[in-house]
Structure 1
């Protein structure tokens, strides 16, 4: 029987006229399409797939719309699982960003390394330079001035250095008092003597110095005899060569060394020479 509906009749005429086998084939084809469609919907509804697809922001938005529009049996599925996956992914992205050096919030605080204290330079200990202590000048005694007393001290110091007894000191002082009045004299006869430190000059031949010793007699050079310490040493050396000088008078001992034209002149200085020797050896 045919339907009276013309549209239905056209649809019926358009269908291929196959037997029962063809109807079964058609049903199987429709079933396969339906089964494939159901598998796609089931796959889209899978939480694992949603998490995988949530890695891209654009894909997440697109899949959210698809998952909301389609579900099994053509009914909308709830989107809570997908939203949770996107939120989890966003939290992971935020956690990774918190370790980024390019983030603006909470900038990394760099703790400065402790600054090493500079090693103090060793203190330079400068030793105080001691100024040479000038020897104390002896106070003049027995009517001598300071220059005379200084020369007398040189004569006594040389005698003490040579281990000479007190009497030798008195003999030497008496001799210098008579010969030069305890002044270191140059000689007008020897112009060279004026080149050295002196405290005046005499004119007794070529006699120079405290003891008026003559270079021409072998006492030494002009330069040597103009040094009071050398002149005193030369006198004591000559005195030691006089046999028994210790038992002689001051005048005799002095004359034995000096061979003076006035041998008795030395005796007048003995008392004053003893006072000076005592002051310088006290």
Structure 2
């Protein structure tokens, strides 16, 4: 199973160049697409989901263009956008039954069994008779995953799924996504570094419509080990530091400003630090460094 994104570009009517010759080849497992808001993540997700056509390039699933025959690919696709609506006052059970019938699951017994399996998977069995529009954000996201999985898709897209979730709900959602990785190509679009760190064995950084880096998170982090240094600084020292070094981030630790810089040479007063994916991310997207 393979999804190949070949030289995809997209310019919107307002002149925004959202995607610039994006190339990616994906196989089963969890793939993280990491980038800031406005990087082009939603544009590439919508293009893969066949909700919009690119200006150039193609996307192949198992060697066949999904842009030429979108309806065939949609039968194999599950897409959970960042925000999705639900009918008012309808329970999870009734909505899943409705969506299952739309997806062609006509056998009543088979449909009931599939819905029960999915409600158990997303831990909503005891809440299945409650109206979905009364669910918390995390519960609604879990319902969304159940809806996506009804037809057992081979490609699953989840766009910013944990934004706004509390830590407990985020962990529940992580567990569900991890369960899917042996069955499908799962594309996780996010601006949250922890999502990729915890879930993905393959990733890319997208910014301003371009792929800046691609690889296994551990390998990418290893590539900058030995070049990350930290030191506590004052506000005045921080301004001078920014003029002299590549400052990746600053954090308040016990009332002090701890600055993280990237350099290949030892710097007076700085101690070597163990790099993490956030450091690698900020090294490629320096405008996000704080």
**TM-score tier (shorter):** under 0.3
Rg bigger for which structure?
1
**Highest RCO, 1 vs 2 (Cα 8 Å, sep ≥ 6):** 2
Structure with greater helix share of residues: 1
Structure with greater strand share of residues: 2
TM-score of the two chains, using structure 1 as the length reference: 0.21
TM-score of the two chains, using structure 2 as the length reference: 0.21
